[in-house]
């Protein structure tokens, strides 16, 4: 069995008083769906993806996804590269769309979203009201 790790989205409001009980189930469903799409953007990848489990923890709202370490490394690499380039233009459309969605939610609701993992001591990416990632690909219909 492959080694397991986790990825984490830590969501805070500006008042730093967000708690998991403040999060609506529709928002939780959206976060879960968006992370799945970010990790496995195609139908084939979703169909063959490994088992992914989920937990929400205190400490603002920490959304934790437990999955094989190879997926954690992919997530860590992509989010680190976004931070390094300060751009999402190298990502495929579906991944750009997920980051754009998180950015819009952060700006609209006054949130900070930190992307963390079990293999990194520091957040690999932070999205907040100062983020300015531009969606560049138009969806091919």
- Predicted confidence pLDDT, tens digits, the chain (141 residues): 789 999 999 999 988 888 888 899 999 999 999 999 999 999 999 999 999 999 999 878 999 999 999 999 999 999 999 999 999 999 999 999 999 999 999 999 999 999 999 999 899 999 999 999 988 765 554
Which pLDDT score, from 0 to 100, does residue 137 have? Answer: 65
Domain for residue 134, yes or no?
A: no
Which pLDDT score, from 0 to 100, does residue 138 have? Answer: 57
100 dihedral zone (left: phi>0; alpha: psi -120 to 50; beta): alpha
Domain for residue 141, yes or no?
A: no
Q: How far from chain centre, in Å, is Cα 115?
A: 6
Which pLDDT score, from 0 to 100, does residue 60 have? Answer: 84
Domain for residue 139, yes or no?
A: no
CB 103 within 8 A of CB 34: no
Which pLDDT score, from 0 to 100, does residue 58 have? Answer: 86
Which pLDDT score, from 0 to 100, does residue 15 have? Answer: 86
Task: Identify the domain containing residue 31 by its residue range.
Answer: 4-127
Q: Tokens representing 13? A: 């409001």
Which pLDDT score, from 0 to 100, does residue 139 have? Answer: 54
Domain for residue 140, yes or no?
A: no
Domain for residue 137, yes or no?
A: no
Domain for residue 10, yes or no?
A: yes
Query: Which of 77, 80, 74, 68 is CA-nearest to residue 123?
Result: 80
Q: How many domains does the chain have?
A: 1
């Amino acid at each position: 069995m492959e080694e397991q790790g986790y990825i984490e989205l830590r969501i805070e409001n500006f008042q730093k008083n967000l708690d998991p009980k403040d999060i609506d189930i529709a928002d939780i469903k959206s976060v879960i769906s968006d992370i799945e799409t970010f990790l496995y953007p195609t139908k084939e990848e979703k169909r063959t993806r490994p088992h992914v489990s989920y937990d929400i923890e205190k400490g603002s709202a920490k959304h934790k996804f437990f999955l094989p370490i190879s997926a954690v490394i992919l997530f860590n690499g992509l989010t680190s590269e976004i931070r390094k380039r300060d751009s999402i233009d190298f990502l495929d459309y579906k991944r750009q769309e997920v980051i754009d969605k998180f950015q819009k939610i952060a700006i609209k609701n006054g949130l900070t979203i930190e992307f963390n993992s079990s293999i990194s001591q520091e957040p690999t990416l932070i999205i907040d009201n100062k983020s300015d990632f531009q969606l560049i690909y138009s969806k091919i219909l």
